[in-house]
Structure 1
Amino acid sequence: MKKHIIFDMDGVIIDSEPEYQKRIKIFMERNGFTITDELSFQICGSNRKDTYELFQENVPDFVMSYEAYNKGRDQVNAEYPLNLRAIVNEDIYPLMKKLKASGFHIGMASSAPKEKILQNLGVLELTDYFDIIVSGQEFVHSKPDPEIYIYTMKKMGVEPKDCYVVEDSTFGLQAAESAGTVVICKRDDRFGYDQSGADYYIDRLAEIEDICLGK
C-alpha cells in the first residue's frame, strides 16, 4: 500500500479560486482593463508572475511594471482578505487524521508563496499534518512544469509510482501527471479545467480514504 500523498492547496483544501478571480477583476478594473472569462479561466492555477505575463500577452495596453502590478494586487488582497474558515473543505480534517493514523507521509506542493501557504495552514490549524511544505516560488517554472512535484517527492524519499497527488486545475494535473505520480483529481466544472488523464476522480476529499486506505 502506498503511504505517501501530496496535496495542492488552492481548489483542493480551500475553495479559493472564485475569491482570487474576484480580486483579480477588481484590480484590473481599477487600472482600466477588462478581462474575458476565457482569459480568467486560463489563469486558474497560475502563480502571480505567470498571470502577469499572460496579461502582458493578451490584454491590450497592459504595460505596467511587475513591481506596480504586485503592489496593486497586494492592495486589493489587503482590502478583501480571504475568510479561510468559510472556504475550507471540511473533509480535510477527518481525512488528515485518518491518513496520519495510518502512517502516511503527507506533503504540500502549492504554487502560492511559502509565506501565504504557512499563513493559511496556520489559520486552519493544519500545519502539523504536513511533513514537507513546498512553494512553486522556489523554482524557475511553476506548474504545469513538474519540477515542484519531482522535488517534493525527492525530499519525501518516494518514487513517483508510489505517491498520490491530489490536484484540480489544468496546470496542477499536468504537473502531477508529467512527474509520473498517481493522480487524484478533485472534479470542478466551474473554470473550464481540462481534467483528463487522472488515475482517480473524486467529488469529495472524503473519497480519498477509499483510494488510499482501501476501505
Structure 2
Amino acid sequence: MSKFKQISHVIFDMDGVLLDTEPLYTKAIQNIVGRYGKVFTWDLKVKVMGTHRADASKTVVKELDLPITWQEFDQMLQEQYDIVLADPEIFPGARQLVHHLHENKVPISVATSSSLKSFELKTAKHKDFFKLFDHVVCGGSDPEVKKGKPSPDIFLISASRFPDKPKPAECLVVEDAPSGVQAAISAGMQVVMIPDENVPQERRRLATVVVSSIDLIPLEKFGLPPLK
C-alpha cells in the first residue's frame, strides 16, 4: 500500500510557503527583544512558527522573561510588522506551482495564521497572484477559527469553504512549520512539509513527505498533474 492517497484539493500555508516572510518575522521580533538584551533564538522561533500572533507574543514574553506584558509586546510587534512586512517576495517555485494547479482546475486555497489586516499588508503588491485561489482563511481574525495551529480548525474550515466541500482525506496541505504539519495531520489531511534547514528531523516526521523546495512536490503521487 502506498502511503500517498489521491487528493482533489490543495490548501497552502502562506508564510514561508508562498511568501518569503520568515526572515522578516525574525527581524521584527529581534528588533523588540534586543531592546531588553535578549536574543530570539532558533529554538524559540520553532515554537512560535505558524501560530497566531497573540499566542506567539505570549510565548516570547514568557520564554525570554521580558519585563512587559504580552499585550505590550504584541502592540510593538504590530508596529514592527507594519515596517518590515510591507513588501515580501513570492517564492518563484510557488508562483509556478500555483499557476500550474490553477490552469489544471485543481481547487486551491490559502490557510494562514495571519489576521486579515496582516494578510492585506503582505499581499498588497501580489493581488493578481492571490486571486488565483478559491478563497483565503485568515486564522488570526476569522471568527470561525476558534483555535490556532497546531489545532486543526483552520484547515477544516478551509476545506468546508470550497463549493464542493471535500472530505479532509481529499485535501493536501503544504506547510513549512511543525505546528502547521501537526494541524494538518490532526485534521485528517496529508501534508507536504517544506521545512527550514534548521528544523530538526524529529519535528519533520509527521509529514507525509518532506521536500526542500515547493517545486519538488511529487504531485503525481497524489493524483495531480505533474509540473512540466
Instruction: Tell me the TM-score range normalised by the shorter chain.
Output: 0.7 to 0.9
Letter paired with 2:58: E
Deviation at 1:192, TM superposition (A): 4.0
Amino acid at match of 1:13: L
Give the C-alpha shift of residue 32 in structure 1. 4.8
The corresponding residue for 2:146 is: 140
Matched residue, 1:41: 46
Distance 1:197 1:50, change over 3 A: same
CA distance in 2, matches of 1:59, 1:153: 37
Aligned partners of 1:3 and 1:103 also within 8 Å: no
Return the offset for 1:178: 0.5
Cα separation, partners in 2 of 1:190 and 1:83, compared to 1, 3 Å: farther
Identity %: 25
State the partner residue of 1:175: 183
Residue type matched to 2:53 in 1? Answer: R
Q: Using a 3 Å threshold, how does the CA distance of structure 1 residues 49 and 100 change in structure 2: closer, same or farther?
A: same
Question: Which residue is 1:205 aligned to?
Answer: 214
State the SS of the aligned residue for 2:161. helix
**More displaced 10-residue stretch of structure 1: 124-133 or 68-77:** 68-77
Matched, 1:74 2:83: no
Greater shift in the superposed pair: 4-13 or 133-142: 133-142
Q: How far did 1:174 drift? A: 0.2
Q: Give a deviation string over 1:173-197, Cα, whole Å, max 9, x none.
A: 0000110012111132224471112
- What is the CA RMSD across the aligned residues, in angstroms? 2.2
Structure 2 residue runs without a partner (length 5+): 1-5
From the superposition, tell whether residues 54 and 184 of structure 1 become closer, same or farther in structure 2 (CA, over 3 Å).
Answer: same
Structure 2 equivalent of residue 18 of structure 1:
23
Distance change in 2, residues 1:166/1:154 (3 Å): same
- Name the aligned partner's letter for residue 142 of structure 1: G
Amino acid at match of 2:106: F
Q: Which segments of 5 or more consecutive residues in structure 1 lack a partner in the other structure? A: none
Match of 1:99 in 2: 101
C-alpha deviation, 1:6, in angstroms:
0.3
Amino acid at match of 1:148: I
TM-score, with length taken from structure 2: 0.83
Q: Which has the higher helix share?
A: 1
What is the TM-score when the length of structure 1 is the normalising length? Answer: 0.87
Aligned residues: 212
User: SS state of the match for residue 22, structure 1?
Assistant: helix
Can you list the C-alpha shifts for 1:154-212, whole angstroms capped at 9, x where unaligned?
A: 12201011111101111000000110012111132224471112222222222334445
192-201 or 152-161: which moved more? 192-201
